[in-house]
Structure 1
Amino acid sequence: MTSQSCQRGPESAHVNYKGPCHTAVCRHSSSLLGCNLEPPNKHGGQSKPVPSSAVGSSWVTGLLRMLLLLLWYMPVAGGLEVKTEERQMVFLHDNVTVLCKIPGSPCLDITTVGIIWSRKKEWNESETSVYQFYGSHREAIRPGANVSLLGLERGDASLLLPRIELSEAGEYRCKLVVTPQKAEGTTRLDVVASPAMKLFVKPATERNGEEQHVICKLDGFYPEAFDVKWGKSTLNDPHFQAITEGIVTGPTVRNDDGTFSVTSSLALRPALEDHGNTFFCVVSHKSLLDSKRLSVMLPEKRPVEIYFTIVGPCVLLALVLALVIVYCLWRWSSGRVRQENKDFYAAEMLSS
């Protein structure tokens, strides 16, 4: 392996590279390219003679641009390779880097490099341009799209996309020319959104027949496919016990931003021993590396609740029985008094 030097202006950078190192002498400027290949500007309102070397440099730049454009339409030449990822999964609104690199650590003169990034939409086969760079031309068709020119000098043509949207999923193609060679690679970009999850107990009401409901809500997820499972554990058996009855999972609802929401509920008619049990909602989704489990404990009945649910009915029954007994005694007592009165009047009439 030999050490070669790429001269950029007054500085030299030495890198190890298996292959040709395109050299160029260029002066530093504040431009994005870092090299000024245009004729000298006018200073102080007076024009200075343009050296023939500058005119030649401008002519060479135009010729290189024409050559780079011509290479886009030629068959892919051998000798140059780019490394891309077959598939990348990224999260909604993240800043994303779509990889495209030349293996090794090349040292490139970017005046001989051209790159075009394009995207094939999911729902059709047409390709749209995302970013272009060749010669002194640099254009971001997708707002914010960028390729670092410092990285490009080291063979890194990766595409930077700030705040990715769901609509930007698809197949991205990286076409790279290092004159006179050409290579390309593709990456499938999947944009996903993780669900925001909430689990809570909805108290029983007369309307729902004194049932309690455990509610599991998912919001803001993409893609639409998901899976929800229910289970419980008790004080006597802390292991997960699957629940398959009393479950109602509603239809998914599309949000304004293209993500989805859904609600799943578990209906309970808890006996006294069910209070204090823990219930689980287990969610599976493409955006989650593993299933996520949420848990909630069914509140234990407080002493007042126990009084009204157990002692209360007993007291009420006792009161009813007491009233029945009092009524019966009253009827018996009233009947006895009336009979005594009849006997008294009958005795009076006989004596008279």
Structure 2
Amino acid sequence: MPSLCGLGHRWAASGLSGPQETCSDGHVTQASLACRLATALLLLVCCARATSGSLRVEVPLRKLTVRLNDNVTIPCNFSGFARLDLCVMAIRWFRIDPKSGLKITVFEVFGINKNIPRTGAEVSRERLQRGDASLQLPAVQLGDAGEYWCEVVDTPAMEDDSILLEVLAVPTSRVFVEQTTGTGNSMYLVCQSFGFYPEAINITWEKRTHNVSQDQRISTDIYTDPITLNEDGTFNITSYLKLIASLEDTYYCVVDHTSLQTSQRLNCTLFVRNAVMRNHVCILSVFLILLILIVIFVSYCISKR
């Protein structure tokens, strides 16, 4: 009986045409390319694990952190092969899903045959000639995160190495004024952050007055809504600051998130005009009161004559 390795070599040499299926009407059809490719890779791996070689596979990083929608290259280099023949070599990338723990094939190639479950994934054939099996992923999404394994089979040797891919989404933030109606007629500064990932985020408020150069942390009259989840897996949050503005006050909404190298600081100088108008109204009121008092005093003096 022929050995498993012998079958694998003969199958590989024949262009993956081995497994066949017979239909009920007697016709013979080829198995799907994906099934044939997977079986060929399995045979090669079995043979490779049964023998030792000098093949070395190295991923130079342990962790790669990228941003949502980035075009990413996950590095992987191999060396020590007896002879570089891409027609009989196999390259496979798979991902361990962080939630389910399942092994998910991302890209695999054997000779001229490819299986690419992840849309747009690619390993450059030109770079393979130089021992570079780096995986290219366009427009990475949150679902692309996980532990990636680079597996190279150069029969009779097989080696692999892994890297963790972390995908972050940077918050988009804005600040604006909102005035409530009804009793109290309150004014609020509103700070909104959209589309961030992971969920943990911190929003604080600071204030700078016209006569104090240093920012002061605000700890009262702050209201923050619960974090909401978007359909794409990112999050939103809104924070409110109730305002009692004085002349030339500048307010800051400070957003801190793991995707940011430095804090987002959104400033707004508000109600300066209103404060000035209130000042003018106050002076005018005092002037009117003094005028009324003078008129009353003059009238009193005239009545006494």
Q: So what's the TM-score if we normalise by structure 2?
A: 0.75
**Residues 1-352 of structure 1 aligned to structure 2 (within 5 Å):** 61-62=13-14, 69-73=42-46, 74-75=48-49, 77=52, 79-84=54-59, 85-102=61-78, 108-203=84-179, 207=182, 209-270=184-245, 274-301=246-273, 303-308=276-281, 310-314=282-286
Kindly state the Cα deviation for residue 314 of structure 1 after the two structures are TM-superposed: 3.6
Kindly state the Cα deviation for residue 313 of structure 1 after the two structures are TM-superposed: 4.1
Per-residue CA distance 1:180-202 (angstroms, 9 max, x = gap): 22111111111111111112233
**What residue identity is the alignment partner of 1:218?**
S
Distance 2:227 2:283 in 1: 45
Distance 2:12 2:239 in 1: 67
Asked whether the equivalents of residues 166 and 192 of structure 1 are also in contact (C-alpha less than 8 Å), the reply is: yes
**What residue identity is the alignment partner of 1:126?**
L
Distance 2:139 2:181 in 1: 48
Question: Measured at CA, do residues 60 and 250 of structure 1 come closer, stay the same or move farther in structure 2, by a change above 3 Å?
Answer: closer
The structure with the greater share of residues assigned to strand is 2
For residue 307 of structure 1, give the secondary structure of its aligned residue in structure 2. Answer: helix
Kindly state the Cα deviation for residue 258 of structure 1 after the two structures are TM-superposed: 2.0
Kindly state the Cα deviation for residue 275 of structure 1 after the two structures are TM-superposed: 2.1
Asked whether the equivalents of residues 232 and 241 of structure 1 are also in contact (C-alpha less than 8 Å), the reply is: yes
Kindly state the Cα deviation for residue 315 of structure 1 after the two structures are TM-superposed: 6.1
**What residue identity is the alignment partner of 1:70?**
L
Distance 1:60 1:213 in 2: 70
Question: Of the two structures, which has the highest relative contact order with CA contacts closer than 8 Å and spacing of 6 or more?
Answer: 2
Distance 2:91 2:156 in 1: 13
**What residue identity is the alignment partner of 1:278?**
T
**What residue identity is the alignment partner of 2:248?**
G
Kindly state the Cα deviation for residue 267 of structure 1 after the two structures are TM-superposed: 1.2
Where structure 2 has 5 or more consecutive residues not aligned to the other structure, the ranges are: 1-9, 17-36
Distance 1:196 1:153 in 2: 42
Kindly state the Cα deviation for residue 122 of structure 1 after the two structures are TM-superposed: 1.6
**What residue identity is the alignment partner of 1:276?**
E
Kindly state the Cα deviation for residue 149 of structure 1 after the two structures are TM-superposed: 0.6
Question: Measured at CA, do residues 93 and 152 of structure 1 come closer, stay the same or move farther in structure 2, by a change above 3 Å?
Answer: same
Asked whether the equivalents of residues 106 and 154 of structure 1 are also in contact (C-alpha less than 8 Å), the reply is: no
Number of equivalenced pairs: 266
Question: Measured at CA, do residues 175 and 267 of structure 1 come closer, stay the same or move farther in structure 2, by a change above 3 Å?
Answer: same
Distance 1:69 1:231 in 2: 60
Kindly state the Cα deviation for residue 306 of structure 1 after the two structures are TM-superposed: 2.7
Asked whether the equivalents of residues 12 and 88 of structure 2 are also in contact (C-alpha less than 8 Å), the reply is: no
Per-residue CA distance 1:332-351 (angstroms, 9 max, x = gap): x9xxxxxxxxxxxxxxxxxx
For residue 256 of structure 1, give the secondary structure of its aligned residue in structure 2. Answer: coil
Asked whether the equivalents of residues 249 and 265 of structure 1 are also in contact (C-alpha less than 8 Å), the reply is: yes
Structure with larger Rg: 1
Where structure 1 has 5 or more consecutive residues not aligned to the other structure, the ranges are: 1-57, 334-352
Per-residue CA distance 1:209-236 (angstroms, 9 max, x = gap): 2543222110111111101122122232
Question: Measured at CA, do residues 164 and 189 of structure 1 come closer, stay the same or move farther in structure 2, by a change above 3 Å?
Answer: same
Q: So what's the TM-score if we normalise by structure 1?
A: 0.66
Distance 2:82 2:69 in 1: 33
Kindly state the Cα deviation for residue 151 of structure 1 after the two structures are TM-superposed: 0.8
Kindly state the Cα deviation for residue 248 of structure 1 after the two structures are TM-superposed: 1.1
Asked whether the equivalents of residues 233 and 278 of structure 1 are also in contact (C-alpha less than 8 Å), the reply is: yes
For residue 112 of structure 1, give the secondary structure of its aligned residue in structure 2. Answer: coil
